[in-house]
Amino acid sequence: MKNVICLLGAKEISAKIKQGELSVRQVLEAYLQRAEDCGNELNCFNLICKDYALSRAEEVQKGIDDGALSGPLAGVPIAVKDNICTEGIPTTCSSRMLSDFVPPYNATVINKINAEGLVVFAKLNMDEFAMGSTNESSFFGEVRNPWNLSRVPGGSSGGAAAAVSAGLSPLALATDTGGSVRQPCSFCSVTGLKPTYGAVSRYGLIAYASSLDTIGAIAKSADDCLALFNIIRGSDPKDSTSKDASFIKSTDIKGKKIAVISELLSEDINPEVKNAVLSAAERFRSLGAETEFISVPELKYSVAAYYVLASAQASSNLARFDGIRCGYTPENVETLSEQYLKSRSAGFGSEVKRRILLGNFVLSEGYYDSYYKNALKAQELIKQALKKALGNYSFILTPVSPDTAPEIGKMTKDPMKMYLSDVCTVPANLAGLPAVAFPCGFDKDNMPIGVQLIGNAFCEEEIMSAAEAFQQKTKYHKTQPPFTARYKK
C-alpha cells in the first residue's frame, strides 16, 4: 500500500485524504519509509525532518477534518530545495559555509504552503549555492539520476527532480536562475515550472543572482505543478520585485501559434533530442496548434551574458559569508582579515570560488565595460527579440538541454562545456519570462528528453495548460524510472 501511495499524483493524494480514504499521517509515513529505504542511494535529501513533519501532519489532519483546510494540495507532503529558508530547520545551500545555519524565519513560499496544509518533510540536495548544472558541486556529495545511477540528475535542483521522479516526494519547491528547475526535470522526466520573474516572492531564498532568481514548482504532471504555483504566486511586501498579475489568455491549445527557434535545433543538439522535440511540435500540431520555425540570432549571446551577469551578482551576494555567525570558522587566526580569508577559502567549493573570481573580474575596472556592460546590452537585445517573437506567437518551443544526462564526473572536468549546456534555458531567465519543461521522449539508452515552452510574462496558466494538453495525449510523464521498480514491494 505504501508504495502505491508514492505513485499517486499530488492532487489525487489530497482528494483521497479529503474523502477519508487516506490520512495525512498515512501518506507522510509512506514517503518517510520510502525515503529511508532508498533515499540514500540517490543522495537526493540533505535532511529528513521526521518529527517536525509528523507533528505538522497532526495539525493539518485536524485542519482538514474541521474544514479549515480545503485547498487542492492540503495534506500533501512536499520536499524543499535547501536554499529556501525554513524556520528551525537547517538550510545549508549544500555548502560547508552554511552547514550549521538554522534560519530563524520562513521564506514567504514556505508560509504560503504551510497555510494551504502542505507538509514539509525534507530538504533537498542541490549544487552548492545553486551553481552548477549537474548537482556534483554539493558539499554533501553528488545526486544520482533514478533513470541510471551512473548519470547526473542535472542541476542545480537535481535533488528535487530526482526525488519527484523516483516517487520519493510528490512535489518539490525548487529555484531556477539559469535553468535549475527545467534542466533537471528534463534529465529526470518530470515537469517543472520556472515562473515569470516577480510572480513568486523571493523573500527567504538565499540569493545567487538576485535579478534572475525565481522559485518554481516540480511535480510529475503539469496539473500538479500549476496547483503548487497557484499557492506560491503573488505579491509580497517583503520582496519589492514581486507583484500580483494574471494575464490568463485562452487556455485552449487549438489555434495557438507556436514558434520553434531554429538556432536551438542546430547541429550542436543531440539528434535524438532534436527528433523528440520536433515530434513534440508535431504533437501540438495534431492538437490544433500551428507551428513555425523562427530565427532569433540574438540568442548567440545568451550563455556569455548569463554567466557574466549571474557571476557578477553572485560575487556580490556571497560577499556576506565570512564564517562569523555560521559556517566554517577556522582556528588559530590572528586577524579579522585572516579569519575571512580562511573561512571563505575553506567554506566554498571550487565551482563557487570560480564564479566569485569571474564575477570580480567582470566588475573590476578595465573590464567592466567590455564584459558587464555589454552583457546588460545583450540581455536587452534578447529581451526585445523574445518579446517580439511572443507578440506574433503564443509560445516558443525549444529543447530544454542540448543533450540527455551525462555520466557523473564528465562535466566537472570541463566547466565551459557545462556552461554551454545551459544554452536553451538561460534566455527565459534573461528575459524574465515563464517557462515549463516537461518530458517528451527517451534516447536509445532510455534516458529522458524534455521539451520547453516559453510564454509571455505572467501567462503561466497558458503555458501550463498547453503542457497539460500534451500530457493528456502522451504517457512520458507517467513512465516510471527503473529505480522505482526495484523498490516495489
300 belongs to the binding site for another protein (CB under 8 A): yes
361 belongs to the binding site for another protein (CB under 8 A): yes
Number of residues that bind another protein (CB under 8 A): 48
User: In whole angstroms, what is the distance from residue 103 CA to residue 259 CA?
Assistant: 44
377 belongs to the binding site for another protein (CB under 8 A): yes
Q: Site residues for another protein, window 399-438 (CB under 8 A)?
A: 415-416, 419
Residue 449 bridge partners (DSSP): 441
140 belongs to the binding site for another protein (CB under 8 A): no
- Sign for the pseudo-dihedral over CA of 445, 468, 213, 196: positive
**Cβ-Cβ contacts under 8 Å for 159 (sequence gap 6 or more):** 43, 44, 45, 46, 79, 81, 82, 124, 125, 126, 135, 143, 153
> Which element (helix H / strand E) includes 193?
strand 191-194
Residue 86 bridge partners (DSSP): 89
266 belongs to the binding site for another protein (CB under 8 A): no
373 belongs to the binding site for another protein (CB under 8 A): yes
Burial of 336 (0-12, 13-18, 19+ CB in 10 A): exposed
395 belongs to the binding site for another protein (CB under 8 A): no
From candidates 8, 74, 122, 358, binder to another protein by CB under 8 A: 358
From candidates 139, 140, 229, 301, binder to another protein by CB under 8 A: 301
Near another protein by CB under 8 A, which window of 10-18, 32-40, 337-345, 434-442? 337-345
Give the angle 257-261-265 at the CA atoms, nearest 5°: 130
Q: What is the DSSP string of 212-265?
A: T-EEEEEESSHHHHHHHHHHHBS-BTTBTT------------TT-EEEEEGGGG
Query: Which cell goes with 483?
Result: 529505480
Near another protein by CB under 8 A, which window of 3-11, 81-89, 108-116, 295-303? 295-303
386 belongs to the binding site for another protein (CB under 8 A): no
User: In whole angstroms, what is the distance from residue 102 CA to residue 122 CA?
Assistant: 14
**At closest approach, how far in Å is the CB of 441 from another protein?**
30
User: In whole angstroms, what is the distance from residue 135 CA to residue 211 CA?
Assistant: 22
DSSP designation for 369? I
Q: What is the strand order of the sheet 290-294 is part of?
A: 45-48, 119-124, 77-81, 171-176, 214-219, 191-194, 435-442, 448-454, 395-399, 257-261, 290-294
Phi first, then psi, for residue 300 (nearest 5°) are -65, -20
- Name the residue nearer to another protein (CB basis): 217 or 378: 378
- Which of 180, 186, 311, 343 is the catalytic position? 180
**At closest approach, how far in Å is the CB of 375 from another protein?**
6
From candidates 166, 253, 378, 447, binder to another protein by CB under 8 A: 378
Question: Is residue 394 among the annotated active site residues?
Answer: no
374 belongs to the binding site for another protein (CB under 8 A): yes
From candidates 52, 101, 105, 340, binder to another protein by CB under 8 A: 340
Inter-residue contact 463 to 395 (CB < 8 Å)? yes
Question: Is residue 286 among the annotated active site residues?
Answer: no
Question: Is residue 180 among the annotated active site residues?
Answer: yes
- Which of 156, 201, 242, 311 is the catalytic position? 156
**At closest approach, how far in Å is the CB of 336 from another protein?**
11
**At closest approach, how far in Å is the CB of 213 from another protein?**
17
Contacts with another protein, residue ranges (CB under 8 A): 300-301, 303-305, 307-308, 312, 315-316, 319, 322, 340-342, 344-345, 348, 350, 353-354, 356-365, 368-378, 380-381, 384, 415-416, 419
The residues that are catalytic are: 81, 156, 180
